[in-house]
Structures are given as structure tokens and as C-alpha cells.
Amino acid sequence: MAPDAKKYEQLSAYIDGELPDAQRDKVERWLAEDAQARRLADELRQVAGMVAALPRGTAGADLADHVIARLERETLLGESQTPANSATRTGWLKPLAIAAALLMAVTVGWLAFPTELEKERNIVQLAENERSIGTADTPRSPPPSREFGEFDSDRIAKKEAVPSPSIESPAIAARPLADVGTGQSLQYEEEGTGLGASAPMAGGIDESKSPARPAPSEERLASSDLESRRQSATEAREHQLQQDPTFIKPPTPQDFETRFAQNQVRGLEIQSAPIAVFDNRLEVEAADPDAVHGLSRMIEADMAGNFVPKLHENDDRPVEPTQAFYCGRSDADRRADLDFENESNQKAAPGDSSDADTSARIYVLNVPRSQAAPLLNSMQNYLVTNQVESQWTANGQPIPAANAAAETLRQLVPSSFQALSASQGEPLGMGGRSPLNPPAGKDSPNALAQGSTRTSAEAASCENDKVAHGEKADSDQDKPDSFREKPDADGDDARKPELPYKGPARRAGKSPRARSGDDAAVADRIKKESTAPRGGLRGRQTAEITPTAQEGGKSEPDFVGPPTAGAEFAGAGHGGVDLDPPAPADEPFVTIAIALRTTQTLKQAAPTAGTSQSNEGSTDQPIDAADNEAARGGRAQPPRAIGGAAPASQPTSQGARRG
Amino acid sequence: MDGTYSNLRRPIQLTDAVHPDSRAADPEDDAALIVACRAGEMRAYGLLVRRYQDRVFNLCWRMCGNRDDAEDFTQEAFVKALQSIDRFADRSRFYTWLFRIAVNVVITARRQSGRRRTFSLEGDADSNSDGRSDSYRPALASNDPRPEDRAMQSEHQGLVLEALNGLDEGHRTVLVLRDMESLGYDEIADILSVPAGTVKSRIHRARTALRDALEPLLGMD
């Protein structure tokens, strides 16, 4: 650059005030001496002024919004658009946009529907993740169903650690599963979490097909470490779920009780709440899906017959504090509900693979406590007669005294149940006759459920009466399959003696047993309570609460009465008279959660269409006597194939955990 | 992220009460907003955009000569700024860094589009078929109410713009940054990533070229 050019550059810098003091002084001296330089400087100043005076525009007021929106869009879609593109927005962009949309659609489809190879990789990755958590050394099998989580021992244990206020305590005799001694349990790991969980099962495991199990001592040694890892995995899982906006956090017991009282509980929360949330609960497990299905039908018939709202899976209606309700758990449950409502498939045909039988479900009943006792009695009767493993829990604690009652009844059940089935009397029980529950008869397909609506005490009483009269049992040839006796485990085909049932169903105040001996006081109490106005469920309330009695040299503990400390179903209603009174406004309600689950799926069982003799796949048979005997004795049950389900090492019922 | 979260202790005014005029903006306000942006606070970036959008827009407008394109460039500049805000060095002022991005956006886009010159002032909608705009909208800040004066001023401004657009990109850019944005030579050098001496020489040559182009207008005021 020429020296003059360099010199003239100083003029622009001088105009802009960008020169240091020394150079500015030099330029000022130059301008003072050189008129041409002064004129040039003046012209440059004018030019700068012209440029500075150019009109200024303002960006759009919504530019910031557009920028933010574009940033969010690009963040979500990963797209990038340059101004050059927008400036040259011509016709060729349109097909490009279409092509991009198609590409995106294909990509989404590819992601949504992974190939078999991708699925396989996911499974492998999932298995590796589980192993990395450290539970891979524990034998496990796939979870029988997602609803098994309701029986998750970890959750139950967590619930137990939290003292929860109780509403009422059903003094329903029952026994914990641990006392029943299932001996085996399914153990699995929750999907994707590495969180081990085990679930008890009543039977139906083919040990020969299951992997090797560690010795019990090894299990105990590893249990503490495993427990800590489970806890950490649980915390991680919960933290992860809390970050998920779609996750519906199950309410804590305290939350649930409080919100329930405030009518803030919604159906979805009930759906997502673990069974352990509820203080008064019945957990039922059965190897025979039909037993569970029958019980669910019985509950539904009673509840539906009494105008109880049904909360489906996606039902998010608020639950009234004094509302009785029940809810299904899965799509299969909904289908089962539809079947039930249509009355076209109330009982699955033998060999019919009904999905409804393969899933667990939960019922949450908020019933007047005067109505709760008959219902619970009916359920207990059904459980006993079908030899279904169950656990009654009141105030978060199992009811130990229930064991004896259930055990006694188990010994009395076969003949007494058959006697009940032979009766032509009116169906008794909670809710009376439901439109969905046709009149009972020995040929009625619903005889099982209806018969079960009689109290177990009635059954026992009838049986004792028959024994006292020396009557023999009827042949079960004319009875439904579900009432027939199965061959004994040892192959003895001899059926247990059956006695004809001749007497009418006992009513309160008419029972000879209620009039005799120590039961007189109880009968008086029953009569007194039965005269009190009752509300809630409508219909014939003829189920009788049988007090403790000594009959036939056997002790029959009270099922519903108050003798069990801490397990009393306070104020349990005692029916016995046909009443249809208005519901008192202040009648307390009791919330009872009933979780039903089968440990055997019909699909996995051997097909035995047209027959009910085989326990596997049977839809009409209770579990066999061998299982029952093993359950009572706490011994390991004989292997039973249920689709390769592996036994687990830890019993997970609450009773087992409580020791 | 460069982890300058200590600034988070300072309460951030995430309201519209933040001074919208970038020339009066406190650099510390910018720093606080930038920290908030790095933390994912989009409202803070919204404030930054509103604070500097007019300046960036005018820079783009004068560089490209088309209002619509200028809006796109402005938007693109702000998008790129936020996408790379983690790379913003606190030693420089935010608007110089933002102007650099805007200049690069415009230069890159114009090179890609091949359009070197644009003669419209207020947008393509007002342009004739020959690309010349016959409806220059003068500065609204003009205090001269006389239509003839405004028409003359518009004519002068049109000539200035035409002359400005006739400059090459480098010269035009330095003039816009200097005379319209009143940036110092060091700041312009920072924006253009050139030495300050280069800025000085470019400015002088640009003004000289404009003087030659606008010689009929000189001395009229």
C-alpha cells in the first residue's frame, strides 16, 4: 500500500475517533495544513453520516417466538433449515419435504415394529442388564403375568413396614399362605428392572423341568445381599418411574386412605395400587384357573346385582368414599367382564383357553360392614370348598386363627359341599339372586358359585346334621362336574361318602345349633343385630354367621365372630332375615381388596377338552387332594406341569415373610 | 457447557422488564441470561433474542438487501447462537459474538444462493419487475413533515443504499457495522476475525468508494 493510502486511512480512523492521541494530534496537524485532506475528511464524514442515516427496520414482534419454536422443533425432529434454503424456497423443496416425511414415517415404523432380530437383541440386552444387577444367579422364570406384581413380596414387605390406619378388621377366619405351606413359589424378575420378586403358588410346578435351585442355606446367606440389591434396584426403579410423566404412582396407604376419604381417589389409581395398599385384603392363589374365575364371578355377581359400579382399566372416574366398586386388571379381565355381562360364556367350556383365567385381577369393595360379613363368608366358603390357597389379612396382618377354621372346614368340605349342591333351596348369600346369577340347581352351571354363597358354617352345619342322621352321600353322577370328587392321589377311585341334604337352609334364629348351648347368646346377638336397620346392598340377606360350636367332636372356630383379637370384623353384619331396609346414612363402610390370581394358565395346561378328570387344564375341578394334603402339611407339592414355570426358593406370601 | 454456573446465584430477571435496548443493556445481564440459557431456560433466551433482534435484523438487512431474507437470516443466527451457546467465550461481549454468527450466516447463505446484490429496500413485494423498488420507505423517525423533503430524502437514501449494495461484501459489512451499528474497530475486527488494521483500511476504502458513488449528493446538505 502506498504511503499516501496509508496516510489517508488515518482520516477515516480519525473521523471515527479510533486513533490514539498521538496519531490524532498528527492528523489534526495534517488537516490544519492540507485543505485537500480537510475536504476529503469532510466528504468521508458525510458518507458515514449517510450510511448511518439509512432507515432501520424492526424485526417481527414474534421473531423470538419463532426462534424458540424453531429451536424446539429442531430439537425434537433434528431438522435444520438454513436461511439459504428459505431464500431459495422453490418448487424442488416440496418433493423433498414429501420425501422427508416418507422417510420419517418409515423410520417411525421401523422403530415401532422392530424386526425379529431387534427383538432378540433386546431380549439379550435385557438379560445382560439383569445379570449385571446381580440377580442372575437366582433361578427364575418369566413372570406368569404382569399382575403378579400385586403379589410382589417386596411391595408387600414395604407395605408392612408402613403402619397404616385401618378402616375395619374383618374377623374372617383364614390362614396365611405360609401356614398352608405351599412350599414352592415362583420367582421371577420384574421386566427391565432387575428387581427380583417371587410369588407363591399353590401347585402346578414341574420340578423336573425347572433349573437347579440353590440349597436353602445358600439362599439364606445370599438373601441379605440379594435384599439390599433389590432395595437399591427398587429405589432406582422408583426414581426412574418418577421421572416418567406417564407413570401413575401408586398411592401410599396413608395417601390412599386420606384421598379416599376426600373422594379424590380415581379409578386408575385403584388400578395401579398394589394390593398391599389396602388394609383388609384377601389374596387368593389357585392352581386351577377355574377356581379363581368362579370366585371372581361370584364376587361380580354379588356386586353387579347390587348396582355396584365397575371400574375398568381406563376408567378414571373419582371413587366416592362410600362407593362399592370392583375393577378388572387387564384386557383379559375386560374381555372376561364382557363375557360375564353377556351371560353367554359365564363358564368356560372345558379346554377352552379363556384368557380371563390366566390373569390376575383385583376387586376393591367398599361395602357397608353389615354386608361385608356375608360376602366374606361366601368367599371363604368358596375358597375352602375349592381348596384354594388364600390369605386373609386385616389391618395388614394375617389372621392366624383363620387357619384352624379353614382347616376344619377343609376336612368337612367335600361331603358338605355336595350336600349343599344337592339342596334345592333358595340361593343364599350376599346380594341374593342376581340377574346374572340364575337360580341354583344341581344342573345349573352356576351351582358352584351359588352354592358357595352359603356360608361355610352352613355347609359345615349341614354336613354335621347329615352325619348325625347317618345319611349317606348321594352319588355325584347327577351333579355338575365341579362338584364331583376326584380320585385320590393314590389312585383310589373311591369317592368320599356323600350324604343327602334334606333340611332347608338354616336361617338365623331357626338353627337348632343357634338355639342350643353356648350359641344361644350368640344367637341372641345375631337376632339383636339383625333387627337393626341395615343399608347398602339389596336383596335377600340370608347368609348366617355361625358362631363357634362344638359339633361332631370337632372344633369349628368362628368365621366372622369377634374372638380373634386384632382380626375382628367389627360390627360385621349378621344377616338371617330378608330385609330391604334403607341404608342408614351413618353406616360405616369397609374397604376390602380381593386379589385373585391363578398360577396355572389354561393355555399352558394340557388340553383336556371334554373332560374334567385331569387337573391339568381342567376348568371344573378343584385342585386335587394330593395338593391339598401337601398344602396342609407344608410339604412340597408333587410336580405339576405348568408350562415350564420354575420354582423359586422363597415363599413370598405375607405370612411367610412375617414368619 | 463450560460450567459457569456460579452466575446462577445472581437472580435472573426473566421478565419483560429487562431493558429491550441492546445498546443500553448491561453486559452482566447478558451473562446472567446466557447462564440461564445454558441451563435450558428458554425464556432467558427469548429475552436475549428480543434484546438484539433489531440490531441483528438490520445488520442482515443491510448486508443482504432483502427484508424477507433478513428475517430468515436473523432467525437462523439466533438459532445457531443458542445451539452453540456453550462455545461462547465470556471474554467477549455477547452481541459481538452474535453479530459474527449473523455475518457468517448471511455470507454463507448469499454465497450458496449466488445472489450477490439486491437492490430492494423494503422487500420484494414492493419491487418492480426490474428489481428496483420505487417505494422507498424513509426512516419513520424523520421529523420532516414535508412530502417533498421526504421524497428527496427517500431518493437520497435509495442512492446511498444502491451505492452501499454496490460495494463488495467485505466493505459493505464493515461500513454497516461501523456506521450503522457504531461498533468500534476492535469489535468489528473481532466480529470479522480480521486484524484491526484491516478493518481500518476496509472502512476507509469503503467510504472512499461510497464517496465516489455518491459524489453528486455530497455537499447538498
For residue A521, pLDDT beyond 80: no
Whether the pLDDT of residue A434 is over 60: the answer is no
Contacts of A79 in chain B (CB under 8 A): none
CA angle A556–A562–A564, rounded 5-degree value: 70
Least-confidence region, from A18-22, A204-208, A266-270, A507-511: A507-511
Q: What is the DSSP letter of B159?
A: H
Question: pLDDT value at position B56?
Answer: 92
pLDDT at A11 (0 to 100): 87
Task: Give the C-alpha distances (Å, rounded to integers) separating A436 from A302, A305, A423.
Answer: 9, 7, 20
Annotate A128-167 with b (16+ C-beta within 10 A) or e (fewer): eebeebbbbebbbbebbbebbbbbbbbbbbebbeeebebb
Strands A389-394 and A397-398: antiparallel
Could you tell me which residues come within 8 angstroms of residue B178 by beta carbon, excluding any fewer than 6 positions away? A16, A48, B185, B188, B203
| Domain CATH code at residue B45 | 1.10.1740.10
Tens-place pLDDT, residues A377-423:
777 777 777 777 777 777 666 666 665 555 555 554 443 333 333 43
> Does any domain span residue B89?
yes
Residue in B69, B159, B146 with CA at minimum distance from that of residue A47:
B159
DSSP letter string, B103-124: HHHHHHHHHHHT------SS-G
More confidently predicted of A169 and B32: B32
Q: How many angstroms from the chain centroid is the CA of residue A355?
A: 16
From the CB of residue B203, how many other CB atoms can be counted at a distance below 10 Å? 26
pLDDT score recorded for residue A7: 79
Which H or E run includes A390? strand A389-394
Is position B218 within any domain?
Answer: no
From the list A8, A60, A86, which residue is nearest B204 (CB)?
Answer: A8
User: Considering the domain boundaries, does residue B73 fall inside one?
Assistant: yes
What does pLDDT average to over chain A?
53
CA atoms within 13 A on the CB side of B12: 23
Interface of A with B in 47-106 (CB under 8 A): 47-60, 63-68, 70-72, 74, 81-84, 86-88
Contacts of A76 in chain B (CB under 8 A): none
Percent of chain A predicted with pLDDT > 90: 0
CB–CB contact A64 B50 (8 Å): yes
Residue A328: per-residue pLDDT: 58
Sign, Cα dihedral of B191, B193, B198, B202: negative
Contact assignment for B71 to A63 by CB distance below 8 Å: yes
Point out the residue among A18, A55, A64 whose CB comes nearest to the CB of B185. Answer: A18
Does B180 lie at the interface with A, CB-CB under 8 angstroms? Answer: yes
Does the residue B48 lie in any domain? yes
The total domain count for chain B is 1
Considering A216-225, A291-300, A460-469, the range whose residues carry the highest mean pLDDT is A291-300
Q: Please give the C-alpha separations between residue B96 and each of A15, A161, B46, B184, B185, in angstroms, as whole numbers.
A: 22, 61, 18, 11, 12
Give CA–CA dist A9/A12, Å, rounded: 6
> What percentage of chain A exceeds 70 in pLDDT?
26
Reported confidence tier of residue B102, pLDDT bands at 50, 70, 90: very high
Q: Please give, rounded to a whole number of angstroms, the shortest distance from the CA of A294 to a CA of chain B.
A: 56
Nearest-CA distance B174 → chain A (Å): 11
pLDDT in tens, B161-200: 888 888 888 888 999 999 988 899 988 998 888 888 889 8
pLDDT for A17 beyond 50: yes
pLDDT at residue B111 tops 50: yes
Note whether B180 contacts A46, CB cutoff 8 Å: no
The winner for highest mean pLDDT among A260-264, A431-435, A487-491, B3-7 is: A260-264
Cell of B127: 419491487
CA–CA distance from A45 to each of A16, A50, A317, A427, A500 (Å)?
A: 9, 9, 77, 110, 124
Contact at 8 Å (CB) between A58 and B57? yes
Strands A280-286 and A589-598: parallel
pLDDT above 50 for A360: yes
Q: How many CB pairs under 8 A join A and B?
A: 154
Residue B74, domain member (yes or no): yes
Distance CA A406, CA A399 (A): 11
Is B76 part of any domain? Answer: yes
Report which of B64, B172, B209 is spatially closest to residue A87, judged by C-alpha positions. B64
Dist CA B142 CA A659 (whole Å): 92
- Give the pLDDT score at A167: 31
DSSP secondary-structure letter at B176? I
- Predicted confidence at residue A565, as pLDDT, reads 29
d(CA A504, CA A59): 93
A1 touches chain B (CB under 8 A): yes
Above 50 in pLDDT, residue B10?
no
Q: What element of type H or E holds A398?
A: strand A397-398
In this complex, do B157 and A86 lie within 8 Å of one another by their Cβ atoms?
no
In a domain, B40, yes or no: yes
CB atoms B46 and A68 under 8 Å? yes
Give yes or no for residue A47 having a pLDDT over 80.
Answer: yes
Q: Which pLDDT score is estimated for A467?
A: 36
Percent of chain B with pLDDT over 70: 67
Please report whether residue B80 resides in a domain. yes
Q: Is B178's CB within 8 Å of A48's CB?
A: yes
CB A384 within 8 A of CB A617: no
Average pLDDT over residues B25-52: 80
Give the CA distances from residue A439 to residues A62, A235, B118, in Å, rounded to whole numbers and listed in that order: 73, 52, 92
Q: Are B200 and A13 an interchain contact pair (Cβ–Cβ within 8 Å)? A: yes
Residues contacting residue A81 through CB under 8 Å, at least 6 positions apart:
A70, A74, B76
Q: Quick check: A45 and B210 in contact, CB under 8 A? A: no
Cβ separation B180–A54 shorter than 8 A:
yes
pLDDT band at A507 (very low <50, low <70, confident <90, very high): very low
Instruction: Give chain B's mean pLDDT.
Output: 73
Residue from B33, B42, B175 nearest B103 by CA: B175
φ, ψ dihedrals at A139, nearest 5°: -65, 140
Do A66 and B75 make contact, defined as CB atoms within 8 angstroms?
yes
Higher pLDDT, A1 or A184: A1
What's the pLDDT band for A541 if we cut at 50, 70, 90? very low
Residue A195: pLDDT band with limits 50, 70, 90: very low
Hey, which residues does A593 pair with through a beta bridge?
Answer: A281, A364
CB–CB of B185 and A67 under 8 A? no
In angstroms, what separates the C-alpha of B29 from chain A's closest C-alpha?
18
Question: How many Å lie between the alpha carbon of A31 and the closest alpha carbon of chain B?
Answer: 16
Separation CA B151–CA B138 (nearest Å): 8
Lowest-confidence region among A249-253, A545-549, B105-109, B126-130: A545-549
- Range list of β-strands (E), B61-219: none
Domain hosting B91: range is 25-113
Question: Does pLDDT of B205 surpass 70?
Answer: yes
Tell which wins on pLDDT, A190 or A292.
A292
In 10 A of CB A431, how many CB atoms?
A: 28
